[in-house]
Amino acid sequence: MAVDTNRSCPPVPIWIELSKAQEQVERDNNNHPPLTSGSSDTDYTIITAASSIRTSLSLRDKREIIQQYEQRPEKTPDIASEMEKWYAMTDRYGFLNTQQTESDSILLKEKEIERAEKWAAMSHRILIDGETAYTFSYSSKLRRRVYKGIPDCWRRDVWYYLVTDGLRSAKEDYAYKKSYQELLLKESPHERQIDLDIPRTLRDHIMFKQRYGSGQRALFNVLRAFSNYDEEVGYCQGMTNIVATILMYCDEEVI
């Protein structure tokens, strides 16, 4: 490529701000014709510098996002007292500012206990690789009760039983958990958007109310891992609410 010696343009300093680099590129484009085989190499220097700075800022933002979710609070709170305080202000699902009356709460609690006892009666406790799981006799009664609604205290175990095909694929959990940890080590192009959406997700729920708390960390990890697992789908708005609802009952590695 020929160099135009009649034009003099000093190299762009590496510390130049992105906005200044963009302004320089715009001025250069306005004052000179489009790049051709006879254009100056300096044009490419400016454009390359602006692109490099933009990439550098993007990488810095991503590193800062990851660090926010990885860091732990300096002072460990008194979990028991904190939970007692929050649960006194929430409904049965953990949402704040509930309008539910005390009489409604008592009726729901009694109904929930009655249904939970029925599920307990048709469950069988077993151990899989040293961990407790529950199996159920697959029947028309089980189907009816699933459609009727699974009690809160049984949702995790029943969901696990169903998604593992009656616990037949439960022994593959170790491989899934290992794969999950590997996915978390990879960078995702959706990290910034996920980070922006998380504070908007179930903001009145005690699990997700604290910024960068354990609930938001789990939510960020699951969404980032999934975006790496299924790159075609990646991430889209709305996934946060689905994953957050599941996290209310399951550990992040179980999802």
pLDDT digits (tens, 9 = 90+) for 202-246: 998 989 988 899 999 999 999 999 999 999 999 998 999 999 999
* Mean pLDDT score of the chain: 77
Selected from 3.90.1200.10, 1.10.8.270, 3.40.50.300, 3.50.50.60, the CATH number assigned to the domain covering 172-248 reads 1.10.8.270
Give percent of the chain above pLDDT 70: 66
Is the pLDDT at 10 greater than 50? The verdict is no
Using a pLDDT cut of 90, give the percent of the chain over it. Answer: 41
The model's pLDDT over 148-185, given as tens digits with 9 standing for 90+, comes to 999 999 999 999 999 999 998 888 888 888 999 999 99
Report residue 23 as tokens: 């302004």
Highest mean pLDDT among 17-21, 54-58, 144-148: 144-148
> Is the pLDDT assigned to residue 26 strictly greater than 60?
no
pTM of the model: 0.67
In the prediction, which pLDDT does 245 show? 93
Per-residue model confidence (pLDDT) at position 32: 47
Domain parsing of the chain, residue ranges:
88-164, 172-248
